[in-house]
């Protein structure tokens, strides 16, 4: 079990120190997944620094990009945004929380998910649609495939507009 701890320094301005057992948790690996905050980690509010910390903690614990990205906003709201000057959380607590979330499917909205994840989901639907079935099943699967393609195009266009405008779709600044 790993213990993560945070301590405010420099009056809470800029990146804050996060410990992983007796070492420092580097924001670099999580920033390579998704650079939410070039300044690094922070906590105690619902901004980009806390989003980076949520992503960093999840990624460090599970080492799965898709899981970390899908659940980091919910983890930020549940934990990171509520922390004060000092905090502590274990990898076991994070894993237990993730297991609970995965059973309730509280993932990030599709427009916040990486394009690769969206495309993999669409590919799985295409594979399912290509399995020969009865005529009724083929008609239904064809309909689902067409609707999925339309939805995917709309999501990708929305993502493009959001990121080109420098804005966000998350009502509480990510």
pLDDT in tens, 46-79: 899 999 999 999 999 999 998 999 899 999 999 9
The confidence score (pLDDT) of residue 173 equals 38
Q: Mark whether 95 and 116 lie in a shared domain.
A: no
Residues 124-159 as b/e (b if ≥16 CB within 10 A, e otherwise) read ebeeebeeeeeeeeeeebeeebeebeeebeebeeeb
Q: Mark whether 75 and 149 lie in a shared domain.
A: no
Domain enclosing residue 14, as ranges: 3-106
The confidence score (pLDDT) of residue 76 equals 94
pLDDT tens for each residue of 90-130:
999 999 999 888 776 545 555 555 555 566 666 665 665 55
When pLDDT is cut at 50, 70 and 90, the band that residue 38 belongs to is: confident
More confident residue, 169 or 59: 59
The confidence score (pLDDT) of residue 148 equals 73
The confidence score (pLDDT) of residue 136 equals 55
Number of domains forming the structure of the chain: 2
Q: Mark whether 99 and 117 lie in a shared domain.
A: no
Asked if 33 and 55 count as a contact pair (C-beta separation under 8 A), the reply is yes
Asked if 5 and 24 count as a contact pair (C-beta separation under 8 A), the reply is no
Q: Mark whether 102 and 154 lie in a shared domain.
A: no
Q: Mark whether 25 and 89 lie in a shared domain.
A: yes
């Amino acid at each position: 079990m790993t213990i993560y701890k945070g301590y405010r320094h420099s009056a809470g301005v800029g990146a804050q120190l996060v410990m992983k057992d007796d070492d420092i948790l580097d924001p670099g690996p999580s920033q390579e997944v998704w650079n939410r905050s070039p300044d690094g980690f922070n906590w105690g509010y619902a901004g980009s620094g806390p989003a980076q910390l949520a992503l960093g903690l999840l990624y460090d614990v599970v080492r799965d990009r898709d899981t970390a990205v899908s659940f980091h906003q919910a983890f930020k709201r549940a934990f990171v945004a509520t922390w004060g000057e000092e905090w502590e959380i274990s990898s076991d607590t994070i894993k237990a929380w993730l297991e609970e979330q995965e059973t309730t499917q509280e993932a990030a909205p599709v427009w916040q998910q990486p394009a690769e994840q969206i495309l993999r989901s669409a590919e799985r639907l295409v594979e399912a649609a290509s399995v020969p079935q009865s005529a009724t099943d083929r008609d239904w699967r064809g309909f689902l495939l067409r609707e999925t393609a339309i939805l995917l195009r709309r999501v990708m266009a929305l993502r493009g507009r959001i990121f080109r405008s420098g804005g966000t779709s998350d009502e509480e600044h990510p």
